[in-house]
């Protein structure tokens, strides 16, 4: 049986991290080690880690350089396992999570395995809108088991050989660094499998309309570099303008297409929730596109600074 490392990055979410670690204590297949990368917390994170260390084989790493990629790279460097399982500090893993992710890799059927996500309970109106806009179409547990080009590090296992060949997460990405990593890995011939029985519950979804809209804006801003890098792999990304002026002129049409795409995929998965949340889905698509225009400005400035 392969040695396993569960890797978690965290920043100022001590109580959510506590819930996450308590779920790891209840796994049917316990992890051989749990690497926690603290990306600069100023709350009670350290105390929670030390408290849970009595029940879990925890290694605590402090990474001062802020960013998802920097923190995940610190986790990769610290991990000793043959299989590294990523989840987030705001995700609660189902009891059979670790076993379900590792089994296809150990059986030789996959090199990377990603699992499903559902909102944590109790989930309010905006939490469901957040889930439908960012996760459901790709990570819903009713989706079929099978190969995928990219999945999320909130619920992803990697064989050591994948890490050794693919390298680290690209620190130029503000977000979507996990999708970029997966695309690079599958481009090298590694097999990525979606395993819907490997389930986590996402407790960190937006709990208010203002938080939801701000998240959609940040998601758009952070995802634009992925669109610029891997645009040919994404249907909507292929048609999104690469300059600010055309993107602004294309705003209504692209926001409508994004909302239609989300509604089309989600109505089959969560019919009632989709009908209930369609106004917020449309509004979120608009805020996401606004963030994408901000992202274009950000990366164009970086390009000019590097010349």
Share of the chain above pLDDT 70, in %: 94
Using a pLDDT cut of 90, give the percent of the chain over it: 79
Residue 272: pLDDT band (50, 70, 90) is very high
Q: State whether 73 and 142 are in the same domain.
A: yes
Distance (Å, whole) CA 23 – CA 132: 24
Mutual angle of helices 251-267 and 271-306, in 10-degree steps: 140
d(CA 111, CA 73): 19
Q: Cis omega before residue 122 (within 30°)?
A: yes
Domain boundary among 152, 187, 202: 202
Looking at 166, 183, 202, the residue that finishes a domain is 202
Do 183 and 232 share a domain, yes or no? no
Range of the domain at 233: 209-306
Tell me the pTM.
0.92
pLDDT at residue 306 greater than cutoff 90: no
Q: Which of 19-23, 202-206, 232-236 has the lowest mean pLDDT?
A: 232-236
Q: Which two tokens stand for residue 249?
A: 């002129």
The CA distances from residue 170 to 67, 112, 173, in Å, are: 11, 18, 6
Same domain? For 138 and 264 the reply is no
CATH number at residue 38: 3.90.550.10
Q: How far apart are CA 185 and CA 180, in angstroms?
A: 9
pLDDT for the residue numbered 236: 64
Give the tokens for residue 127: 């939490």
Q: Is the pLDDT of residue 232 over 70?
A: no
Q: What is the pLDDT of residue 211?
A: 97
67 and 132 housed in the same domain: yes
User: Looking at the structure, do residues 160 and 24 belong to the same domain, yes or no?
Assistant: yes
Distance CA 3, CA 27 (A): 15
Burial of 9 (0-12, 13-18, 19+ CB in 10 A): buried
Identify whether residues 166 and 213 lie together within a single domain. Answer: no
Shared domain check, 274 and 165: no
- Give me the number of domains the chain comprises: 2
Distances in whole angstroms, Cα of residue 9 to Cα of each of 61, 248, 298: 9, 35, 25
Judgement on whether residues 46 and 62 belong to the same structural domain of the protein = yes
d(CA 45, CA 90): 13
Which whole number is the average pLDDT over 91-105? 98
- Mark residue 288 as left, alpha or beta (left: phi above 0; alpha: psi -120 to 50; beta: remaining): alpha
Residue 235 banded pLDDT, cuts 50, 70, 90: low
Summarize the confidence of residues 125-150 as an average pLDDT: 96
**What pLDDT was estimated at residue 215?**
96
Same domain, 85 and 151: yes
């Amino acid at each position: 049986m392969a040695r396993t490392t569960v890797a978690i990055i965290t920043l100022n979410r001590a109580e959510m991290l506590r819930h996450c670690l308590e779920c790891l204590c209840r796994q049917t297949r316990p992890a051989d080690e749990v690497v926690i990368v603290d990306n600069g917390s100023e709350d009670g994170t350290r105390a929670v880690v030390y408290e849970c260390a009595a029940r879990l084989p925890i290694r605590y790493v402090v990474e001062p350089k802020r960013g998802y990629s920097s923190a995940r790279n610190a986790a990769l460097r610290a991990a000793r396992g043959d299989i590294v399982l990523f989840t987030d500090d705001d995700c609660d893993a189902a009891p059979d999570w670790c076993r379900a992710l590792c089994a296809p890799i150990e059986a030789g059927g996959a090199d990377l395995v990603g699992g499903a996500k559902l909102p944590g309970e109790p989930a309010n109106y905006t939490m469901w809108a957040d889930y439908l806009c960012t996760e459901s179409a790709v990570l819903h547990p009713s989706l079929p088991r099978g190969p995928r080009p990219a999945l999320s590090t909130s619920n992803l296992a990697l064989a050591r050989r994948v890490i050794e060949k693919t390298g680290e997460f690209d620190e130029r990405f503000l977000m979507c660094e996990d999708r970029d990593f997966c695309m690079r890995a599958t481009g090298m011939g590694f097999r990525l499998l979606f395993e819907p029985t490997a389930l986590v519950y996402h407790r960190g979804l937006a709990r208010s309309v203002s938080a939801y809209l701000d998240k959609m804006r940040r998601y758009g801003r952070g995802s634009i570099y992925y669109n610029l890098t891997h645009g040919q792999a994404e249907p909507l990304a292929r048609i999104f303008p690469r300059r600010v002026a055309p993107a602004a002129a294309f705003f209504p049409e692209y926001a409508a297409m994004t909302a239609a795409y989300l509604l089309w995929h989600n109505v089959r998965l969560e019919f009632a929730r989709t009908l209930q949340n369609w106004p917020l889905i449309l509004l979120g698509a608009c805020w996401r596109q606004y963030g994408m225009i901000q992202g274009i400005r950000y990366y164009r400035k970086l390009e000019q600074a590097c010349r």
